[in-house]
Structure 1
Amino acid sequence: MHPDSPISATLVAWGNAWLAGHVGLDEAVDRLERAAGPQVVSGVVTEIPLRRFLADLRAEGVSALRLSLPVAGDPLGLTGPLPFTMAAVEAGQAATAVLRDRCLGLVPSPDRRGSSYSGVLWTAMEAEATPPDVPGLAEAEHALTSAMRSATDALSGVDGPGRGQPSIGGADDGLAPGYPARAHRVAALTARLASVLRLADERGLTAGQVTVRGQALRDLDRAVRRARVAAHNAIVEARHERDAQARP
């Protein structure tokens, strides 16, 4: 699955909204299917439709879905084991279902069966129950703002043919009902910045300019991925904060 595809983020956002009671299961799965076509989950024994798989997870006590956006050398959102980590890094994305006593990883790939069928195949894999080291929403937003400022400063001195700033106009934040307003704001910004990163190229630059530009864009990409993960985890983070405040 190409990492530019937002399907894991869509599963996490709408799955968490469903678990929190903001949308129904049918609405969540319909949103996923509108985004990427029919979806099935491949387990150890057989394949089942995503709708049935999620219903089964609910019966097992699933409490949250977490987003992973890893790249080589930066397994963001992952804690293992190795087979799941490797598959997620290759896909550039994954979702993790948090159950009562274990976690289950879900890695997407294109599912094409004949000329007229195009959907998503989710491979279910065992995942470590240890929570990943990912930033909270406030921390991620601060780091993203800092990375944007640093990238702007670094790139302002890089001249080259066709130089100019690509538009970062409107972009869908990808979140579902029930997410905090701050999460929507951060997610929308990451979507716009991700578009800028995809449009960036190095044609016509000197070796030194390529080095400066490349480092600035890598730093920004890292901040964007962390902010996107934090935004998609924000509905769970907010619930945990409410639960903690409610304890005597």
Structure 2
Amino acid sequence: MLDTPAGARGPEDLQDPHGETRAGRLTAWGNALLGGFAPPDDAAAAVTGRDEAHRVAGLPGDADGDRHALTWALGRLRALGATGFRLALPAPGHPLGLTGPPEFNARALEAGEAVLTVGGPALGLVPEVAWFGPPGDRSATVLWHCSPVREAPPADVPTLREAERELAEGLREATAVLARLDVAGAGPEALRALEAYRRRGHRELLAPGYPPRAVRVLESAQRIAALLAIAAGGHGAAVSAGEMAARAGVLRPLERTARRAQVAAYNAAVDERGDDGPR
């Protein structure tokens, strides 16, 4: 993403090569668990993914040094009254999905992602990723730091309907921008990136219990984000520093639109909930 904060996660820190964050998976599968759509062990395994292990620290009542397995921690959050989770994907100058306080926001901004609980005490979780192993065969452990957050509407999160409308406009604009930047004619590196995106094939998005519109919105948002990442990676016709800066200025609003839509999609299990559950 264009707004990735300095010192935050790099490509290898992402949960998968398509850009799904660990906070996104915790939000989706945590909502599936709390909504009765997935058993605890399946939800925890889906969140952990390719990582070695996930643990949680800082839950209410914890002593210093307490570390809990993810399955236990999710059960503890449910016992405390949590009924759902929301995703935050903040970037510099854009605290998307956050509610404060400043200390929590700073930690979430450094990580580039966070999860906030819905129901029960207002809590936020931020992942700390530790990598080990030789290059090409690395694995990770994740420690989720839990701390109190403010009870307030999350910053700048659109509804699914708003996100879908913004994405339709953004996709048209992204297509025009990519054509103007001549990404497809930028050489073998750009062509390989485009081909890898096209070949990624179908994959399951979100988790059981999400409304179909949320899946559509997330798929469109990730498509735009992937194409913009290719355009922002130095491919295309722009070669000078000034041209690269101009390119970033053009792409940044589209990146923000895609990020807002991703948050809306992941949060749909709680924000789009009807009387009988998610729609």
Shorter-normalised TM range: 0.7 to 0.9
Partner residue, 1:7: 22
Q: Which structure 2 segments of 5+ residues have no match?
A: 1-7, 15-20
Instruction: Report the 3-state secondary structure (helix = DSSP H, G, I; strand = E; otherwise coil) of the residue aligned with 2:267.
Output: helix
Pairwise CA distance, 1:3: 6.5
Tell me how many residue pairs correspond in the alignment: 242
Partner residue, 1:110: 129
Match of 1:127 among 135, 149, 154: 149
TM-superposition CA deviations, 1:73-125 (whole Å, max 9, x none) = 0000001001110000000000011233x311100011357889731110111
Aligned in 2, Cα 1:173/1:140: closer, same or farther, shift over 3 Å? Answer: farther
Match of 2:37 among 19, 22, 39: 22
Distance between the aligned counterparts of 2:139 and 2:203, measured in 1? 26
Distance between the aligned counterparts of 1:223 and 1:232, measured in 2? 15
State the one-letter code of the partner of 2:169: S
Q: Matches of residues 68-107 of structure 1 in structure 2 within 5 Å? A: 68-100=88-120, 102-107=121-126
Whether the 8 Å contact between 1:159 and 1:205 is mirrored in structure 2 is: no
State the one-letter code of the partner of 2:130: D
TM-superposition CA deviations, 1:125-167 (whole Å, max 9, x none) = 1111112131011101111221222233344333577166724
1:59 correspondence with 2:92: no
Q: Give the 4+ runs in structure 1 shifted more than 4 A.
A: 112-117
Instruction: Please identify, of 109-118 and 69-78, the stretch whose mean Cα deviation from structure 2 is larger.
Output: 109-118
Whether the 8 Å contact between 2:174 and 2:228 is mirrored in structure 1 is: no
Match of 1:230 among 237, 243, 264: 264
Instruction: Report the 3-state secondary structure (helix = DSSP H, G, I; strand = E; otherwise coil) of the residue aligned with 2:97.
Output: coil
Match of 1:47 among 53, 64, 67: 67
Distance between the aligned counterparts of 2:228 and 2:177, measured in 1? 15
Instruction: Report the 3-state secondary structure (helix = DSSP H, G, I; strand = E; otherwise coil) of the residue aligned with 1:175.
Output: coil
Distance between the aligned counterparts of 1:216 and 1:232, measured in 2? 26
Pairwise CA distance, 1:213: 2.0
Aligned in 2, Cα 1:130/1:209: closer, same or farther, shift over 3 Å? Answer: same
Whether the 8 Å contact between 1:33 and 1:39 is mirrored in structure 2 is: yes
Aligned in 2, Cα 1:210/1:24: closer, same or farther, shift over 3 Å? Answer: same
1:162 correspondence with 2:186: yes
Distance between the aligned counterparts of 2:34 and 2:82, measured in 1? 8
CA RMSD of aligned residues (A): 2.6
Q: TM-score, normalised by structure 2?
A: 0.78
1:214 correspondence with 2:236: no
Distance between the aligned counterparts of 1:70 and 1:128, measured in 2? 16
Q: Which structure 1 segments of 5+ residues have no match?
A: none
State the one-letter code of the partner of 1:128: R
Aligned in 2, Cα 1:12/1:111: closer, same or farther, shift over 3 Å? Answer: same
